[in-house]
Structure 1
Amino acid sequence: MNNSNQATTAALKATAPKQATNTGALATLVLVFFFWGFIAASQSIFIPFCRHNFSLTQFESQLLGSAFYGAYFIGSLALYLISSLLKYDILNRIGYKKGIIYGIWISVAGALLIIPSANAHSFAGLLGAYFVVALGFSLQQTAAQPFAIILGDPSTGSHRLNLAGGVNSLGTTLGPIIFSVFLFGQVGGDASKATVTNINNLFLIVACVFAAVALFFTFSRLPAGKDDDRFEGSYKASRSLVLMTLLIGVVILVGQVTKIEKLPLLIVTLLVVVGILAYSNSSAIKNHDKWGAMRYPQLIYGMLGIFLYVGVEVTIDNNFGALLREPGYLTLSGLDESKISKYVSLYWASLMIGRWTGAIGVFNLSETGKRIATIVVPFIAFGVALFVNHLYSGDVSDLYPYAGFVAIAIAAFFFGQQKPVKTLLTLAILAGFFILTGVLTSGIFSVYCIMAAGLCNSIMWPCIFSLGVAGLGKFTSQGSAFLIMMILGGAVVPPFQGAIGDVLGSTTGMHYSYFVAVGCYVVLAWLALRLRSTLKAQGLNFDEQIGGGH
């Protein structure tokens, strides 16, 4: 959930002489990446808590994720449209350093707004506050990734992004556990102990830490972080994105003022996104003029891929708590929400396992060294996840057999050979198989299967990103911005699954709703094949090396 973009490295040219890495600035910057992951992954604990305390349906509880990930789309789109109107890149004009600082202060304001919303027992206020937090994250993410590149030699920029991505994954691993401690008193505590005071204390601390980082950035001697890339506008692409936003807004408005069921409205939303992208692709093929990066079909496929990838990654997590609480799934009466954190944490740790493994390729190891590291590093990461969970929840012996799924993922990484298409296709098929098996079974083995999708998700982002921006030339930076906007998937797919769970009923509805995730992986596998044929037709090398994960 969060969320890092290794593919942006390709858009940044290495024109400067070798320079040393500003390790102090980088150490501070990775804290920002940590909190993106920390807050994003913690929703899996906060959503069940809100559902219980605000008496929400599963669909309504998913609106928390919609507000969070929708802010990424709105923030990125607004920044792009204003830059298009002014004909210069706003962020590049003020500098990446100030962009990060402004973004952090916006998130501070959002974290503080959560406190009065919780005191007033206002779920709508909570949604608004979460939106503000993520709006700040959107600006931070847009600025922080290229900033990481310029904090050292450009040729080693991917190393710094992989380091930041690894720290982001550590945040996603620790987030659910720490949130659980603050809300319930301890990881295995009684949910009835969760109070408004717990929420106030947690987000006051978060706001203070954010503010401390912002002040450090403000008074430290860090580079401003600017580059001279010319801003490339694209009127027709902007028009399509605005139209998509307006249509989604109309759907939301209809949902608020009518009694139409949520599921049909969410289906319409999905059709709007897919339809606008398909129309844009078709129109751009006929006439490239003023379409900018959208003239390339691989970008359109990449945008749909990012939409589904982020959507499925988030929906597995956001609905996981409700699945674990479902009677008869893991326990006879359903698991209390205060006890789900170790399973949610291991799901996000599964992404950390894959990302640490994916980062091996950027180091100058011998072929033998890389093979050994690809086997050893995942189990080291798994051990770290078990150790962290043990510190907070004690007995984690029921998680030991999950090592078998880690071994399967290692075999898949070897089979993918760090080739984007082959890796994406392999992992999409494997993840779909895992989730399908999880839907058709129950108990701890089913839980393992659901969590194992995280191992597959871990390095899909750079595969999709590198394929989506391949061959874009001067439009690479613009294409990257459009891809980041498609984090919107995290705002649409989870409530879609939640609504299906509500429709299917409280007994097994949430369990069978995971067919949504299976469908996402099927389409991702198809997109891998479409990207391969599209790039091959353009004479492009789609088997280039890839780095770590998002």
Structure 2
Amino acid sequence: MSQHNEQTKWSQFLSLVIVFFFWGFVAASNDILIPVFKKWFVLSQLQSQLVAWAFYAAYFVGSVIFFIISLKSDILQKFGYKKTLAVGLSISAIGAFLFFPAAATANFWFFLMALFVVGLGFSVQQIVANPLAIKMGSASTGAHRLTLAGGINSLGTTIGPIIVGIALFGTGNKSEPLPANLSKTETLVYEYKTLKTELETNILDLGKDSHVDSAEKTATETKVNNQISKLNAGLATLEVNKNLSDELVNQYSKQLDDTKKEAANTLYPKEFVKGKLSTVKMPFVILGIAFILVAIFMLFSKIEDPAKEEEKLIDEGSEKFRITKYPQLVLGMIAIFLYVGVEVSIISNLPALLHTREFGSVLENNIAPFVSLYWGSLMIGRWNGGINVFNTSKALNLLLKIVVPFIAFGIIIFANNMSGKDVTSFYIYPIWIAIFIFISFIGGKNAGKTLMIFGVAGIIMMICGLFYPDKNIAKYFLISGGLFCSIMWPAIFDLAIAGLGKNTGKASSFLIMMILGGGIIPLVQGAICDIDNGPSGHGGIMGMTYTHFSYIIPALCFLYLAIFGYITPKILKKQGVELTESNESSGH
């Protein structure tokens, strides 16, 4: 009980959060890789989501392996937290280095293997770092430390896509923002020209590539030039007649869609694709070196292993442990599965959504700011929640909870501006931040109540994103899902392990296994997106494309999370488990 009033060990904690930063950096960078791989490997949306699947399935596999080994020998007690953490970092380093041969061979499955190995190392790191962060000080502020560490994780998710985006596409050009307030015909002309420019750039780059076989080069150039000719034919009519009838606009829209599908299914020569993917090598090689350096740093750091007596208590209860004995744990495992699933799925499928005509036909090189804003939204929420770990007056705590989210938003804007991207359209987003702050005060310090309210808010945001008529606004409703996901992990964790006592460690490993949801839910949503490319996809559903309609999946995930937040405290009460406000405050 002495730990209850113990101060946070800041020097040790700050060393640990470096690991949390890396998790975020890589996870968010995957969202930049998805549209790139989809384009150059000619993948369906479902196939492109295998990127998320490979990464998050590794968490499940790693956790299962860790659990099985722990049944015979407690790894953390035998080797210690620091050494185990260093091993996890080393495994991730191997995965990062595998990006070099994967890019050199332009092999999609090799990339997936590399991501799987990175995720395998992360699973070990997660199992160690989450409980370690909680134990670095008072038990009453343990969940807040985990939320603060999550805020550092989100800083990585905000910066990661920007840096990887620059590595893949270079810096942006602010002088070329997306035109606004265009007529239907003018919008169509813009889309024709955008696709034409992209194809002409590919032809130009292909012509310069001396490694490509001349016969392959000629065959590909013929296909692409044919696509450009179709676009030129459409432009010849559209640029002369600025106010076409709706019937003709629909006709030329269909022609554009057909050309887009044809272009998307054009398989470029492998040697050319190798050149396009070569830019992926360096960021991940640098990341691998960083993993090794941090592993060495961890081994020599002052981080102390928690008392081994704790681990002995866990072992004593392990023989009698049955997950079915604890309904809060079973429901919590489903909640973690869906929570990670919805967090990943919203952003993994966003590039495909933004690429649709109704959402502006945004190309791969302009996706990074939106990815950064989404993951930055999680940073905003987690920084807001992390404030509770500091011992401040009520007045200062209130002020910080209002000011800090907007400081975090300023960092997002600054980072994107530094990358050369025009993000003036993001200036409307503080409206959603203000809604988040208001709702966070309603939730208070009660994990169940907070989870329920944020789950309901997530449902509302997804529904508004589906049906709001102005798509320039609708996309921000969908992106704001990151705000309302931000505080859910510690809240779910708190509720799921409440009342488990000495079985808490074993229960935690089961919860980490459920990170698998981050690999499964995006596949489900991606499969719905792909209906647009099939024979039954023409015309969409309910007046929207299937890619747009696929965001019903995140809404359903939020529904379960809201229900979990509502019923679990009642289940715990029947078990005689009474949670105090301080224990449940991880909902922030």
**TM-score for the superposition, normalised by structure 1:** 0.81
Instruction: Give the letter aligned to residue 297 of structure 1.
Output: P
Distance apart, 1:29 and its partner CA: 2.3
CA distance in 2 between partners of 1:149 and 1:517 (Å): 29
Q: Does 1:393 align with 2:430?
A: no
2:9 maps to what in 1? Answer: 21
Quick one: structure 1 residues 51 and 549, their matched pair in 2 at CA, closer, same or farther if it must change by over 3 Å?
farther
2:180 maps to what in 1? Answer: none
1:313 maps to what in 2? Answer: 343
CA distance in 2 between partners of 1:67 and 1:14 (Å): 42
Distance apart, 1:160 and its partner CA: 4.3
427-436 or 479-488: bigger deviation: 479-488
CA distance in 2 between partners of 1:20 and 1:465 (Å): 20
Aligned residues of 2:448 and 2:569 also touching (Cα < 8 A):
yes
Distance apart, 1:206 and its partner CA: 1.0
Instruction: Give the letter aligned to residue 464 of structure 1.
Output: I
Q: Does 1:410 align with 2:395?
A: no
Alignment of 1:144-543 (within 5 A): 144-149=129-134, 157-158=142-143, 160-187=145-172, 195-220=276-301, 222-223=303-304, 227-228=308-309, 229-230=311-312, 232=314, 290-329=320-359, 331=360, 334-441=361-468, 442-505=470-533, 508-542=545-579
Aligned with residue 42 of structure 2, among 42, 55, 59: 55
Over residues 94-142 of structure 1, what are the superposed CA-to-partner deviations in whole Å (9 max), with x where a residue is unaligned? 1111111111111111111121112111111111110000100111121
Quick one: structure 1 residues 514 and 19, their matched pair in 2 at CA, closer, same or farther if it must change by over 3 Å?
closer
CA distance in 1 between partners of 2:54 and 2:2 (Å): 37
Partner SS state of residue 230, structure 1: helix
1:41 maps to what in 2? Answer: 28
1:278 maps to what in 2? Answer: none
318-327 or 522-531: bigger deviation: 522-531
CA distance in 2 between partners of 1:364 and 1:43 (Å): 37
Instruction: Give the letter aligned to residue 418 of structure 1.
Output: K
Aligned residues of 1:93 and 1:226 also touching (Cα < 8 A):
no
1:276 maps to what in 2? Answer: none
Aligned residues of 2:144 and 2:586 also touching (Cα < 8 A):
no
CA distance in 1 between partners of 2:7 and 2:586 (Å): 23
Partner SS state of residue 171, structure 2: coil
Instruction: Give the letter aligned to residue 371 of structure 2.
Output: V
Aligned residues of 2:173 and 2:422 also touching (Cα < 8 A):
no
CA distance in 2 between partners of 1:339 and 1:298 (Å): 43
Over residues 280-333 of structure 1, what are the superposed CA-to-partner deviations in whole Å (9 max), with x where a residue is unaligned? xxxxxxxxx94434411111111111111110000001111111111222x1xx
Over residues 32-56 of structure 1, what are the superposed CA-to-partner deviations in whole Å (9 max), with x where a residue is unaligned? 1111000001111110111001100
CA distance in 1 between partners of 2:327 and 2:171 (Å): 50
Over residues 223-263 of structure 1, what are the superposed CA-to-partner deviations in whole Å (9 max), with x where a residue is unaligned? 4566232275799x9xxxxxxxxxxxxxxxxxxxxxxxxxx
Quick one: structure 1 residues 121 and 447, their matched pair in 2 at CA, closer, same or farther if it must change by over 3 Å?
same
CA distance in 2 between partners of 1:540 and 1:150 (Å): 21
Partner SS state of residue 73, structure 1: helix
CA distance in 2 between partners of 1:361 and 1:220 (Å): 26
Q: Does 1:126 align with 2:116?
A: no
Alignment of 1:69-84 (within 5 A): 69-84=56-71
**TM-score for the superposition, normalised by structure 2:** 0.76
Distance apart, 1:350 and its partner CA: 0.8
Instruction: Give the letter aligned to residue 337 of structure 2.
Output: F
CA distance in 1 between partners of 2:340 and 2:147 (Å): 18
Distance apart, 1:473 and its partner CA: 1.6
Over residues 66-91 of structure 1, what are the superposed CA-to-partner deviations in whole Å (9 max), with x where a residue is unaligned? 1101111111111111211x1x3112
Over residues 127-164 of structure 1, what are the superposed CA-to-partner deviations in whole Å (9 max), with x where a residue is unaligned? 11100001001111212233345656666655543442
CA distance in 2 between partners of 1:413 and 1:18 (Å): 27
Aligned residues of 2:3 and 2:138 also touching (Cα < 8 A):
no
Quick one: structure 1 residues 362 and 137, their matched pair in 2 at CA, closer, same or farther if it must change by over 3 Å?
same
Mark the runs of 5 or more structure 2 residues left unpaired by the alignment.
175-197, 206-274
Aligned residues of 2:144 and 2:388 also touching (Cα < 8 A):
no
Aligned with residue 122 of structure 2, among 127, 137, 140: 137
2:95 maps to what in 1? Answer: 110
Aligned residues of 2:126 and 2:512 also touching (Cα < 8 A):
no
Distance apart, 1:394 and its partner CA: 4.1
Aligned residues of 1:294 and 1:479 also touching (Cα < 8 A):
no
CA distance in 2 between partners of 1:124 and 1:226 (Å): 43
Distance apart, 1:440 and its partner CA: 1.5
2:223 maps to what in 1? Answer: none
Quick one: structure 1 residues 473 and 403, their matched pair in 2 at CA, closer, same or farther if it must change by over 3 Å?
same
Instruction: Give the letter aligned to residue 162 of structure 2.
Output: I
Aligned residues of 2:143 and 2:490 also touching (Cα < 8 A):
no
CA distance in 1 between partners of 2:8 and 2:402 (Å): 31
CA distance in 2 between partners of 1:375 and 1:29 (Å): 27
CA distance in 2 between partners of 1:517 and 1:199 (Å): 30
Name the % identity. 43
Q: Does 1:544 align with 2:581?
A: yes
1:270 maps to what in 2? Answer: none
Partner SS state of residue 541, structure 1: coil
Partner SS state of residue 328, structure 1: helix
Quick one: structure 1 residues 14 and 172, their matched pair in 2 at CA, closer, same or farther if it must change by over 3 Å?
farther
Quick one: structure 1 residues 499 and 231, their matched pair in 2 at CA, closer, same or farther if it must change by over 3 Å?
farther
CA distance in 2 between partners of 1:326 and 1:304 (Å): 32
Quick one: structure 1 residues 43 and 305, their matched pair in 2 at CA, closer, same or farther if it must change by over 3 Å?
same
Distance apart, 1:509 and its partner CA: 2.0
1:247 maps to what in 2? Answer: none
Quick one: structure 1 residues 212 and 63, their matched pair in 2 at CA, closer, same or farther if it must change by over 3 Å?
same
Quick one: structure 1 residues 366 and 296, their matched pair in 2 at CA, closer, same or farther if it must change by over 3 Å?
same
Count of aligned residue pairs for this structure pair: 480
Larger Rg: 2
CA distance in 2 between partners of 1:547 and 1:130 (Å): 34
Aligned residues of 1:355 and 1:548 also touching (Cα < 8 A):
no
Instruction: Give the letter aligned to residue 438 of structure 1.
Output: G
Distance apart, 1:349 and its partner CA: 0.8
CA distance in 2 between partners of 1:150 and 1:299 (Å): 21
Distance apart, 1:363 and its partner CA: 2.4
Instruction: Give the letter aligned to residue 9 of structure 2.
Output: T
2:192 maps to what in 1? Answer: none
